[in-house]
Amino acid sequence: MPIRVLQPAAQVDTVMRDHLQQMAAEQGFRTRALAAAEPESLALAAPHPVFNLGLDQIGRRGALDRVAMTGWRYLIVAGDSVVASAEAQASGPAAKAAFSNTNEGVFVQSSAAALAAAEQWPEVKDGRFALGLLRVPALYVLALWLRDEEDGGGGDLFVPLAPSPLPLQAGERMPAAAFEAALQQLKRARSPRRGAAN
């Protein structure tokens, strides 16, 4: 079954579409691909909730069950190509949203590639997954979060986006336990060693 794209509240869609249309009409984009695109060719696609995982949460039991939603992210399409992403800040699924930013960085294309690849995986085709994005700012990690809607979350998959720090492998599907274990390893590597000089 195709990965389910969640639909944000109408207010979120309105905020994002109005901002995109206004920026296009006023030639207000400062990034190359958006500035070069024909305004009428731009469209928002694949909305997905964004969750932030704090460094202090990594390794705690049930951390992913309590992770905070921080907004919605869309891919921006020009014709048939993904050229950017756009985000709205929102503290929950029903919270009022405000436009945050557009981005043409490296995570945009890796998001599109990872999503296209995930759609072809047998476990995804045979299951029911909803699209999300997990951000771990302290470790510079972004991952698609394919949330299992059949198994109560027990079959969630994470797909680290390029560039990803080792031991994560960009584009590799990881069960939740393996992904959390890799984050714990990254956290330990980041933390100062006990007894090290200040």
Q: Going residue by residue through the chain, which has 198 residues, state the pLDDT in tens, using 9 for 90 and above.
A: 689 999 898 999 999 999 888 887 777 677 778 888 888 888 999 999 999 999 999 999 989 988 989 999 999 998 889 999 999 998 766 668 888 888 998 999 999 999 999 999 999 999 999 999 999 999 999 999 999 998 665 799 999 999 999 999 999 999 999 999 999 999 998 866 544 433
Q: Which phi and psi angles does 20 have, rounded to 5°?
A: -60, -45
pLDDT of residue 152: 61
Q: Are 42 and 20 in contact (CB under 8 A)?
A: yes
**Domain assignments of the chain as residue spans, ordered by start:** 10-190
Span 147-193, pLDDT tens digits = 999 866 579 999 999 999 999 999 999 999 999 999 999 999 886 65
pLDDT of residue 195: 42
- 3-class state of residue 193 by DSSP: coil
* Cis preceding-peptide flag for 93 (omega within 30 of 0): no
- 3-class state of residue 107 by DSSP: helix
pLDDT of residue 184: 96
- 3-class state of residue 138 by DSSP: helix
- 3-class state of residue 51 by DSSP: strand
Q: Are 20 and 44 in contact (CB under 8 A)?
A: yes
Q: Is the C-alpha dihedral spanning 151, 114, 67, 60 positive or negative?
A: positive
